[in-house]
Amino acid sequence: MTLALDILLSGLILGGMYALTALGLTLQYGVARIMNLSYGEFLIAAAFFAYWTFVGLSMSPLIGLIVVVPLAFVLNWAIYQVLLTPLVRRAKNRDMLEVDSILATFGLLFVVQGVMLVIFGGQYHTYSYLSIPVNIAGVTLSLNRLLAFAVAVTIGLIAYLALKHTRTGTAIRAVAVNPESAQLSAIDVQAAAAFAFALGGALVAAGGVLVSMFLTFSAAMGVTFTMKALIVVIMGGVGNMMGALSAGLLLGVVETSVARLGDPGLTLAATFALFLIVLLVRPTGLFGRYTR
Amino acid sequence: MSLSSLPWIVLGAVVVMIVAAFPLFASGYQLTLGISYLYFTILATAWALFSGPTRYISLATAAFFGGGAYTVAVLAELMPWPFVLLTAATVGIVVALIVGLSTLRLSGIYFVIFTFGLSELIRQLVTWYEVNIHGSVGRYIFVEVSRQAIYWQLLVLALVTFAAGWLINRLRLGLALRVIGEDETAARHAGINTTSAKLTLFTVSATIMTLTGAVMAPRWTYIDPTIAFNPMLSFQVVIMALLGGAGALFGPLLGVVPLVALFDVLSAHFPNYFSILLGIVFILIVYALPQGVVGLVKKHWSRPFALESAALPVAPRPISRGALVNVDRLRKSFGGLHAVDDLSFTVEPGEIIGLIGPNGSGKTTVLNLISGALAPNSGHIRFKGREIAGLNPYKIARLGVARTFQLVRVLPTMSVSDNVLAALAHRAHPVWGAQAQDAAQSLLSRVGLDCKGALRANQLTYIDQKRLELARALALEPDLLLLDEWLAGLNPTELGDGIALVRSLQDSGLTIILVEHVMDAIRSLCGRCIVMNAGKKIADGPPETALTDREVIRAYLGEADA
């Protein structure tokens, strides 16, 4: 019973991280129509940034969070403007943009990963921040996990409310549904896409800082995070924020179960299995409408 | 074999002999570089075999290559070398089938995502197996294979790869894959079994990659999952194929030549910055050379074409007895919207039926249900007495139902005659080769596109694209033709021509269902009209009675005019 509760709580915390990162990816892919294969590298980069603030500057990773989120926003906005806008202009249709963006961000993946390898090397990194045991209903969790979860929920909630209730948010959601029609409603689609891409980058950076508080990470791990975010987005239905949230939590619980009951080496296999099952049974996602 | 191809064959043979003789006088370093050239040539060419025509980007090269290498690591000491290679090929086929069957039915993006994680997945699974079952992570490979032997084996494999590519391009399969790359929906409605075409080629390509990994394995004396399943390899192969141009058989080779040399220099002088520099090179290629070197060459040397037209009369087909189409209590809803609601009607052979109704009344949905683009929620569609509801579109197309699309779907960058050949080659009684060329010509002249066979489809005007789409539909030798607003947007002269063309199709024995808003066309062509509103049939009869029906007027114009 305690084991079940333990798995559930740890799984939900991990799933909260996945949901947050998937929320960012669904903005980049669902709104800006950029299939970003270097997404996970930016998560790891933010994790290294937090590592550096804590170990190098002896400051709380949460301060790192406050710095890195706006930084990531600006950086991703610049990437969209400089690197991706030419591809958007060149693409004759959505499929072409998809192929081009996959290729361009695949190249970017190796550049970012290469930079991190040069600076931090290939070994695993971890730091001990707030590793104070906390007892919840007989289950022991460390405080850093709970804090990370709380921050993730807060950030996710702010992003969700902003998208639902502000003018910019409405514009972004309109572009997600149909860029051509959004244009006809006097929405600057290019600007909205750039904003959404940047916002997605900011969210993944936040995810990176939070993940670094309780997981070990290395420069080569970005691909796994990209994979998981992609899978969560597809499971939830592209562009569907509530879908990404539920699918993220589900993935977290499934992975934790496999790691605790089976073998930690099989978590990615479990992720893939879940992905395949969803693809075969519900190709438009668990909660997805047909969006293309 | 024509006389003009003879010099090329001789040249090819000489090149192969020189390449084959290379190890006899090469130094150790040169031989190593030669091996790199060969194995990247094989991998990039095999990659482009599948990803070039279909435009499905596979990021799984490392997974297959590593699978081959690992098979050797496990089996090399247990059985003779040919059996090891055979097992490796089997491993490649099985993995490719699993990946292909689960993802190739779906849209391309799922395939990309799946292959993106595949080598990581297999690496983790192998590591798990090695740690938990085998007991140690790495393995030593003690096989006595000289570098010369590896070189020659790779050379043979390269020749096999090129031969396979050459052959596929000449088969119907090659055309089918190009059509899929252009427009997968149109491909299905042209009678192409898209899943099996993609799966076949993906498996061929993956098997070659696996064999390459197996042949290369003895180059390492020690192997562990991280070495075997190195994602960098997938990346390098994609860059090479793209730089050269994935659309042509020898395109990737043009990318391999400069990039293997570049990688050699980079890894020797900047080992720490290798991945960064590689990424930058890759991004530059994506921006500057989207079609590869081959695309650049083609742009500057586009070849002129002139084809004579040979009009052949199309024989009238015998008219069979009994209803051709029987639609029975058909229903299709999207969420809460009942697009087609309890619709029943029959179509007799030789009829032209007008399917009309206000916008959103479900006409196009009916065509989509009949042609298999959608599966109904309930109800039956019988064609020549056979249930076709929910069948795959390519099967319905081969049974003799052809369609055009409301928004024209030609295969934009393929030639006009290839557009028609696509359907000719995949219909129930396919034709291929010279016979197909003739048939394509006669179909094109039938719809009024003589002399335009060599143009690219996207160079045609709107009306000509509609004609081309009709020719492609006719190439299926259909009994039933579904025209979705085929006459919309034509000027009065074109409309007259279009009406005459449709009538001539009826005269040759075709049965036609026409979704149309042009009432003049309906009146002059249709013997019978089915009027739909909000998914239901509200009238069925000759145009003059159907169009004056009170309910029809209410549906179109509102209560006041009824």
Pick the closest to residue A200 from A151, A164, A243, A155 (CA basis): A155
- What are A's interface residues with B at a Cβ cutoff of 8 A? 35, 37, 83, 86-87, 90, 95, 98-100, 102-104, 106-115, 117-118, 223-224, 226-227, 230-231, 234, 263, 265-266, 268-269, 272, 275-276, 279-280, 283, 289, 292
A292 pLDDT exceeds 60? no
Q: pLDDT, tens digit, for every residue of B107-123?
A: 667 788 888 888 888 88
- ipTM (interface predicted TM): 0.81
Domain over B325-561 is classified CATH 3.40.190.100: no
| Residue B210 CB coordination number (10 Å) | 30
The partner residue sitting opposite B282, judged by closest CB among A83, A107, A226, is A107
CATH 1.10.3470 intervals, chain B: 27-300
- Does the beta-carbon distance from A227 to B272 stay under 8 Å? no
Give the start-to-end residue ranges of the domains of chain A: 2-219
Q: What is the pTM of this model?
A: 0.80
B107–A contact, CB cutoff 8 A: yes
pLDDT at position B89, please?
A: 93
Per-residue burial over B273-289, b if 16 or more Cβ lie within 10 Å, else e, is: bbbbbbbbbbbebbbeb
End-to-end CA distance of chain B: 72
Length of chain A: 292
B287–A contact, CB cutoff 8 A: yes
User: What is the pLDDT averaged over residues A244-264?
Assistant: 87
CATH 3.40.50.300 intervals, chain B: 325-561
B542 to chain A, closest Cα gap in Å: 38
Q: Which residues contact B180 (CB under 8 A, 6 or more apart)?
A: B53, B54, B187, B192, B194, B197, B198
- Does the beta-carbon distance from A118 to B125 stay under 8 Å? no
pLDDT in tens, chain B (562 residues): 566 778 888 888 888 888 888 888 888 888 989 999 999 999 999 999 998 888 888 888 999 999 999 999 888 888 888 899 999 999 999 999 988 887 777 666 778 888 888 888 888 888 888 888 887 778 888 777 888 889 999 999 999 999 999 999 888 888 888 888 888 888 888 888 888 899 999 999 999 999 999 999 888 888 888 888 888 888 889 888 888 887 788 888 888 988 888 888 888 888 888 888 888 888 888 888 777 777 766 665 544 333 333 333 344 444 445 788 888 889 988 877 888 988 889 888 888 888 888 888 888 899 899 988 888 988 889 888 888 888 888 888 888 889 988 888 888 888 888 888 888 888 888 888 888 888 888 888 888 888 888 888 888 888 888 889 889 898 888 989 998 888 888 888 888 888 888 888 888 888 999 888 888 888 888 888 888 888 888 888 888 888 888 888 888 777 666 6
pLDDT at position B506, please?
A: 87
- Does the beta-carbon distance from A268 to B116 stay under 8 Å? no
The partner residue sitting opposite A103, judged by closest CB among B110, B116, B286, is B286
Contacts of B128 in chain A (CB under 8 A): 263, 265-266, 269
Q: How far is CA B92 from the centre of its chain?
A: 22
- Does the beta-carbon distance from B279 to A275 stay under 8 Å? no
B-chain residue closest to A121, CA distance: B272
Structure tokens at B115: 């292959």
CB pairs under 8 A between A and B: 115
Contacts of A226 in chain B (CB under 8 A): 116
CB B13 within 8 A of CB B137: no
Pick the closest to residue A151 from A20, A3, A50 (CA basis): A20
What phi and psi, each to the nearest 5 degrees, are found at residue B176?
Answer: -60, -40
- Does the beta-carbon distance from A86 to B287 stay under 8 Å? yes
Which CATH number is B27-300 given?
A: 1.10.3470
* HSE-CB for B209 with a 13 A CA cutoff: 33
The partner residue sitting opposite A265, judged by closest CB among B102, B128, B272, is B128
pLDDT at position A290, please?
A: 43
Cα(B370)–Cα(B325) distance, integer angstroms = 9
